[in-house]
């Protein structure tokens, strides 16, 4: 296994209790991420370096973008549209099964795929259309996390952090899932956020291990490892002009900050791989209520 010393740099040293789900808005060159337990949405303009933070009423689970650049968040009780001026505005009234919404992304079908977290494995994976109608794709999930698609091979990948597994699925023309298999069982390691590169390999953050690993999506073998100076690495995103820079969020949760002073920071790594822009959902104004 190739394990070079990656040349990471610090994007933000504003420490998050649990930093998660980075997204990049290309129109404004802004990076957004959340602090789950801090109940924060954090924004950094990568052009002028300015950072701002908004505290919201619920623990956020993930962020996603609308087709017009709108920012939305799946949180404890529902899915909301968010703006600095209006705060949280109800978008999809879906009370999640389990403790709260967790990780999610807009799929290649233009719908929001978002999972929930449940210590007793009663979590689910939802698929939500722009009209707010939703369905449950998977149940009996512990901590639905790190999802992405290989649209060329019609493969869908999903982590269950509590069960220490990465799943692989096939999907049909309607994006319905079938033929689930375990791509990799991680033992005691905790697969968290995930992003797919243009070769179909998976970049997976391992919470508690201080690393991001590049995984072969065919056999689950580790190809490469990126190390960070913190134990809890949470999520990854390909961003910037050619989508060849990896954005990595981390957590200060349960960490000795004297030993790991950058725990909870956001890092960047220039890579030889490249990824894809994030999909966006169409936000229908009739669904939004203050």
pLDDT (0 to 100) of residue 3: 38
101, 73 contact by CB (below 8 A): no
204, 191 contact by CB (below 8 A): yes
Question: With the CA atoms of 172, 157, 167 and 164 taken in that order, what torsion angle do they form, in degrees rounded to the nearest 10?
Answer: -160
Distance spanning both ends of the chain, measured CA to CA = 52
Specify whether the backbone of 132 is left (phi greater than 0), alpha (psi in -120 to 50) or beta: left
pLDDT (0 to 100) of residue 119: 93
pLDDT (0 to 100) of residue 4: 46
3-state secondary structure of 76: coil
Residue 14 to residues 6, 19, 128, 222, 264: CA-CA distances in angstroms?
22, 10, 32, 31, 7
b/e map 51-68, b = 16+ CB within 10 Å = eeeeebebbbbbbbbbee
Averages of pLDDT over each 10 residues, the chain, 290 residues: 66 97 97 98 96 96 96 96 93 94 97 96 96 96 97 97 98 97 98 98 98 98 97 97 96 97 97 96 80
pLDDT (0 to 100) of residue 223: 97
Nearest to 196 by CA among 204, 208, 205, 185: 204
pLDDT (0 to 100) of residue 185: 98
3-state secondary structure of 285: helix
Which residues contact residue 104 at a Cβ distance below 8 angstroms, ignoring those fewer than 6 apart?
A: 21, 61, 62, 64, 74, 112, 113, 114, 115, 147
Please tell me the distance from the alpha carbon of residue 80 to that of residue 290, in angstroms, as a whole number.
10
36, 55 contact by CB (below 8 A): no
pLDDT (0 to 100) of residue 290: 67
């Amino acid at each position: 296994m190739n394990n070079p010393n990656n040349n990471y740099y610090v994007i933000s040293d504003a420490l998050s209790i649990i930093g998660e789900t980075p997204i990049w808005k290309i129109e404004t060159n802004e990076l957004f991420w959340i602090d789950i337990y801090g109940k924060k949405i954090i924004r950094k303009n990568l052009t002028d370096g300015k950072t701002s933070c908004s505290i919201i009423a619920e623990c956020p689970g993930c962020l996603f973008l609308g087709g017009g650049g709108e920012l939305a968040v799946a949180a404890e009780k529902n899915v909301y549209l968010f703006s600095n001026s209006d705060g949280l505005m109800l978008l999809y009234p879906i009370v999640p099964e389990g403790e709260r919404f967790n990780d999610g992304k807009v799929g290649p079908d233009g719908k929001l795929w978002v999972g929930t977290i449940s210590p007793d494995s009663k979590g689910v994976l939802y698929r939500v259309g722009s009209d707010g109608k939703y369905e449950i794709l998977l149940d009996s999930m512990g901590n639905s996390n790190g999802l992405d698609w290989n649209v060329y091979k019609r493969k869908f990948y999903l982590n269950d952090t509590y069960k220490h597994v990465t799943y692989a699925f096939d999907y049909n023309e309607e994006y319905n899932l079938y033929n689930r298999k375990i791509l990799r069982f991680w033992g005691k390691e905790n697969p968290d956020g995930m992003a797919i590169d243009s070769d179909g390999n998976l970049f997976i953050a391992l919470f508690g291990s201080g690393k991001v690993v590049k995984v072969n999506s065919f056999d689950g073998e580790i190809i490469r490892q990126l190390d960070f100076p913190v134990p809890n690495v949470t999520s990854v995103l390909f961003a910037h002009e050619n989508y060849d820079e990896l954005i990595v969020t981390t957590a200060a949760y349960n960490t000795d900050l004297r030993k790991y002073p950058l725990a909870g920071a956001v890092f960047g790594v220039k890579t030889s791989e490249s990824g894809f822009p994030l999909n966006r959902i169409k936000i229908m104004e009739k669904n939004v209520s203050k």
